Amino acid sequence: MSDVPFLDITIFVPLAGALLLAFIPTQRSTWIRYGALAVSLIAFVTSLGVLLNFETSNAGFQLGSTASWIPQWGISYATGVDGISLWMVMLTTFLMPLGILASWSIEKRLKPYFIFLLALETGMLGVFSSLDLFLFYVFWEATLVPMYLLIGMWGYERRIYAAMKFFLFTLVGSLLMLAAILYVYFSVQNPTFNYQTLLAQVHFDAGVQRWLFLAFFASFAVKVPLVPLHTWLPDAHTEAPTAGSVMLAGVLLKMGVYGLIRFAIPLFPNAAREFVPWIMALAIIGIVYGAVVAIMQRDLKRLVAYSSVAHLGFVVLGVFVGSIQGMSGGILQMVNHGLSTGALFMLVGALYDRRHTRRIADFGGLAKSVPILSGVFLFVALSSLGLPGLNGFVGEFLVLLGTFLSYRWWVIPAAFGIVLAAIYLLWAYQRVFQGEPDLEANRTLPDLRVREMIMLAPLVALIVFIGVYPKPFLDRIEPAAQRVVTVLNQGRPTPELQSSAETQP
Amino acid sequence: MIPGPDFLGLAGTIILTTLSTAVFLLFFGSRLNRWSTLAQRIPGWVGWLAAISVGRAFFEAIVLLVRLLERPEEHRSIAVHAFDWLSVGGFKVGFDFLIDPLSVTMVLVITGVGLLIHIYSIGYMKGDPRFSRFFAYLNLFTASMLLLVLADNLLLLYVGWEAVGLCSFLLIGFWFEKPSASNAAKKAFIVNRIGDFAFLLGILLIAGTVGNLTLGQVNAQAGAMAAGTATTICLLLFAGATGKSAQIPLYIWLPDAMEGPTPVSALIHAATMVTAGVYMVARMSPLFEASGGIALTVVGYIGALTALWAALMAAAEYDIKRVLAYSTISQLGYMFLAHGVGGYSAGMFHLVTHAFFKALMFLGAGAVMHGLGGETDMREMGGLRKVMPITGWTFMMGWLAICGVIPFAGFFSKDAILATAWAQGEYVLWAIGIATAFLTAFYMSRLYFRVFEGRVKVPEGVHAHDVPWTMAVALIPLAGLALVGGFLNLPGSLTLEHFLEPVVGESTVPHGLTPWLLAGGALLVAALGIAVAGSLYLSRSGNVRRRTLVHRLGPVAVAARNKFYVDEIYGYGIVLPAKRAAAFAADVFDPKVIDGAVTGIGRLVGRTSEAIRGMQSGYVRSYAATFLIGVVIITSVLLARVGT
């Protein structure tokens, strides 16, 4: 079985499917919808091949392939996953069919919509699987265009502004990264873009490392986004169609963190180490600031967008605290955020489909008219605010524990984020779902349809599963995470738990 | 470990029975009523199913108790492991359960009192459109509470701790159409989250210090901790308890929580959930002991002051449920007072008896509301014992128990607390306790006399009626327990304090002549409180005396009636400024300052401004294409250089 290149197949299935979709006549909208769904499901199934063949305890890259592409320039097609990218790949293939289901109500220009969505999927999968910097950059930029078009063409009122802002913010970042990639490329004896070769060969002195790290960091920090580079996010999220928001929050933001883990830290470990306190400070500011700003939002989608800023703050914090608990928790939290926030965006989208508004003040009392939708919303909100027993808590607790082990005082403002999360989510829940439905329009809404339940059920199931039994995830994350932590910590003692940990029966 | 009965199976069954029923009812409760004619033919089957599942758990709990008692005393602490939960880099937490006298005591109270309240609810909630959801939540609560007390590590305990908070949120806001109910629910959750924030920091500090969160290990290593660390941990954990168990400064959510259906107030906000903090401190007693004096002093004084403070408010309140809510806060304060002077078994004893008599009184209050069409204002009631004899007589048992009249349950447990305080030389705490005992006897007699004695008075247009049998079968056993519950701790037989000894240490309740003198004193104080209330509320000239008294007390009475303005102080001192700051961040700082600065820099550096102008005139795509082409050109030029 493992001879089948599941990973490479998974990467290109969506693109191939997109090309096939192009041949379906435009007026056959049902064929297009089901075709897109089928393609994304095939990609999910092949990605299961990746998951099942993954060796749990192996910290290195697996299941990929290498082929020379443009050998005279040192460019190769090199792929592979480790315990970190594995889950990013799985998250992508898992969310895409759900995102397509969430797009069922799209009527206009259906065909290009699904083509872009599937092209986006190949781009994202490529980003997470590339082991060649050139290939990585190509995929990285390749996600930009479909996302830009999805927001700009199928978005809401201010879509053009939002799409442009998204595009420019990200592009400025990526240009800096491109320059840094090229510098790295030229810095070795036989210029190459191959990640693993570069990793073994590059040695930069401190000053150069600092600049290169900052160039990579700028690109990734915009994507994450870290405060103060986050202002494109609320606009992009608010204006994007539901599936756009789901993929944006669920996967695209993770590309930023992933880039930090995969490239910025291992290639420039000394600089990364140097900037740890600064990055942690930005992460914690993000946790608190994102939550505070979320509290007073009037638009439900904007509120969820700002909650993403807070959540991604937790992720980045975990990644940079330099302990295995923090790193593993941060990576798991990326998956959790994809599930919870993805579900929240779907629910907000479902509300928009019914009421054609996202303004919190336009709702009220919906728990009476749409009890199932309201129950699912509350459930997902609880996972998002880190209720123990659900997925968010597992990630957040590990991040906080990791933070505490390395920098004990920093944990106080970070942990305060859980109080703020309860405030903005429950207050929003109260205003939207509780009370009497005063407006006539809120009294007669249809509850979740079967399609919507099918698209939310897998998310709900995973939210519980990870909350109760995260072991299958953590076991695969830990070896790869440990490798990055070791790199980040060189020259600094790794924080250890007390020895009594071993005495437990 | 001695092989023997399947303790994991028992603990698992106890939790899973109620949890699975909750999930089943949540998904199918109301649906089956629509689909199945059989379901329609058995009215209230949802409630019975829920009650049966709790009954089953109660039965298993008794089995657990028997299995525990079969074992020699030193082997009555059994830890069982279900499966791993979190395990990263040497840090391990599992789904581990601890079965020992303390957890079994709690399980018996939760399932026993819970069973009666479930049955009561079948009658009380009859006709509610969300009948089955109510029982789903109630069962979910029971499962969460059982998880809390059976957990063998602090993180799993925290799961239960927050899950009961969630159920409390769901049930306080059960009638979410009412803004007051949804506000109260939100307030409860957020205030509790503030406490939980501290609790979580405490857990992190333990994990960092001990490397492990297993209860036994944490307590075993308490002695090796630096005193400062241990004290900090204890204070953080206790801060969590002030949220969950409604103590100063976080008690403010509990009076509002009375917006929930009354069985909820009885089960969650009197008998079980609010005692979680008391349980937790008892559970961590070796740690609190090892931390030296400061933490315990804080626990004792916060408890004592809360007891007094809440009793003052109870004495000025007219809403029957809110009097009981303040009373609960006050009685919880007693339990912490007991812990603070090292009387853990006395505190637990009071927890148990309080669960009996306070659940009874809440259910009695619910019966009154049920009989009077939802009325809660005591000024609209009077002489109800004649109209509602079952409610009246059973309530009387609760009233006598909380006043501490011999031989009712409260007499023994309250006396154990006060005697311990005295024996430990904590005369100030003892004095606060005795003052509170007077106030307790006074305000509860005030309630009892106003509502059940004197001339019959019911709100206009209401035909008062006594409880249906489903409610009566809950009231009567609880009344019995309020009467005899104190005998749990009579010396000689298997006493509660002796049973708990392996967990919380030897009892510190003194023996000899002093405790009898103290008990006599406490009885006199109780009698005085009842007498004062009688002279104000039973005698014909009570009206005049009341007015004079209120006049004499002046501002104190006004302040107490206004809950000492604490809600207002928090509102204007914390909530409002925080809200203003958040509004500033959301409406000014983020869009204007940060976005303005970032896009402003962008404009200076690049051609953003032109791009945006271009976008407005409709050339967006061409600009996007230009950028992309630019990237491609730069890349190819650079690459070409390498290639040659």
State the pLDDT at residue B3: 47
At B467, the amino acid letter reads V
Question: What part of A 327-346 touches B (C-beta under 8 Å)?
Answer: 328-329
Dihedral (C-alpha) A497, A462, B185, B45: value to the nearest 10 degrees? -120
How far is Cα B522 from Cα B520, in angstroms, rounded to an integer?
Answer: 5
State the pLDDT at residue B277: 97
Contact call for residues B529 and B327 (beta carbons, < 8 A): no
State the pLDDT at residue B634: 59
Are B209 and A163 inside 8 Å of each other by CB? no
Are A328 and B88 inside 8 Å of each other by CB? yes
How far is Cα A377 from Cα A384, in angstroms, rounded to an integer?
Answer: 10
How far is Cα B254 from Cα B329, in angstroms, rounded to an integer?
Answer: 8
Q: Is 50 exceeded by the pLDDT of residue A499?
A: no
Task: Give the minimum alpha-carbon distance from A42 to chain B in angstroms, rounded to a whole number.
Answer: 31
State the pLDDT at residue A216: 95
State the pLDDT at residue B491: 63
Chain A residues with CB-CB distance to B642 below 8 A: 73-74, 185-186, 191
How far is Cα B184 from Cα B178, in angstroms, rounded to an integer?
Answer: 10
Those residues of chain B that have pLDDT short of 50 are 1-3, 609, 612, 614-620, 642-644
3-state secondary structure of A225: coil
Distances (CA, A) of A130 to A79, A222, B403, B631: 5, 20, 74, 20
Q: What residue of A is the nearest CA neighbor of B621?
A: A149
Q: What is the 3-state secondary structure (H, E, C) of B454-509?
A: CCCECCCCCCCCCCCHHHHHHHHHHHHHHHHHHHHHCCCCCCHHHHHHHHHCCCCC
State the pLDDT at residue A157: 86
How far is Cα A204 from Cα A472, in angstroms, rounded to an integer?
Answer: 38
Q: Which of A419, A427, A476 to mutate to test the interface with B (most CBs of B within 10 A)?
A: A419
State the pLDDT at residue B621: 53
Each residue of A274-312: pLDDT tens digit? 999 999 999 999 999 999 999 999 999 999 999 999 999
**Long-range interactions of B487-491: CB distance < 8 A, separation 24+:** B487/B407, B487/B412, B488/B349, B488/B352, B488/B353, B489/B349, B489/B412, B489/B413, B489/B416, B490/B412
Question: What part of A 89-128 touches B (C-beta under 8 Å)?
Answer: none
Each residue of A146-158: pLDDT tens digit? 999 999 899 888 8
Q: Which structure tokens are listed for B296?
A: 């315990």
Q: Residue B403: which residues within 8 A CB-CB, separation 6 or more? A: B410, B440, B441, B444, B445, B526, B529, B530
Each residue of B64-74: pLDDT tens digit? 999 999 988 88
Among the partner-chain residues B79, B605, B612, the one whose CB lies closest to the CB of A164 is B612
Each residue of A160-214: pLDDT tens digit? 888 888 888 888 888 889 889 988 988 888 888 999 999 998 888 888 899 999 9
State the pLDDT at residue B504: 85
Are A404 and B85 inside 8 Å of each other by CB? no
Q: Is 70 exceeded by the pLDDT of residue A1?
A: no
The residues pairing with B95 across neighbouring beta strands, listed in sequence order, are B83
Are B585 and A293 inside 8 Å of each other by CB? yes
- How far, in whole angstroms, is CA A304 from its chain's centroid? 14
How far is Cα A47 from Cα A93, in angstroms, rounded to an integer?
Answer: 7
DSSP H helices in A407-470: 411-433, 450-468
Q: Is 90 exceeded by the pLDDT of residue A351?
A: yes
Is A438 exposed, middle or buried (CB count within 10 Å of its CB: 0-12, 13-18, 19+)? exposed
H-run or E-run covering B259: none
How far is Cα B428 from Cα B436, in angstroms, rounded to an integer?
Answer: 12
State the pLDDT at residue A501: 40
Length of chain A: 505
Contact call for residues B289 and B231 (beta carbons, < 8 A): no
Are B581 and A292 inside 8 Å of each other by CB? yes
State the pLDDT at residue B635: 60
Task: Give the minimum alpha-carbon distance from B620 to chain A in angstroms, rounded to a whole number.
Answer: 8
Q: Which residues of A59-70 are buried (b: 16+ CB within 10 A; e: fewer)?
A: bebbbbeeeeee
The mean-pLDDT minimum among A3-17, A161-175, A456-470 falls in: A161-175
How far is Cα A347 from Cα B309, in angstroms, rounded to an integer?
Answer: 45
What's the complex ipTM?
0.94
Partner B contacted by A71 (CB < 8 A): no
Question: What part of A 429-448 touches B (C-beta under 8 Å)?
Answer: 430, 433-436
State the pLDDT at residue B2: 47
How far is Cα A57 from Cα A74, in angstroms, rounded to an integer?
Answer: 31
∠ CA B277-B279-B282, nearest 5°, is 110
Kindly calculate the radius of gyration of chain A based on its CA atoms and give it in whole angstroms: 22
Length of chain B: 644
At B632, the amino acid letter reads V
State the pLDDT at residue B33: 80
Chain A to chain B Cβ contacts (< 8 Å): 208
Q: What is the 3-state secondary structure (H, E, C) of B269-336?
A: HHHCHHHHHHHHHHHCHHHHHHCCHHHHHHHHHHHHHHHHHHHHHHHHCCEHHHHHHHHHHHHHHHHH
Q: Is 50 exceeded by the pLDDT of residue A505?
A: no
State the pLDDT at residue B292: 78
> Rounded to 5 degrees, what are φ and ψ at B383?
60, 25
Chain B residues with CB-CB distance to A72 below 8 A: 643
Q: Which of A69, A75, A164 to mutate to test the interface with B (most CBs of B within 10 A)?
A: A164
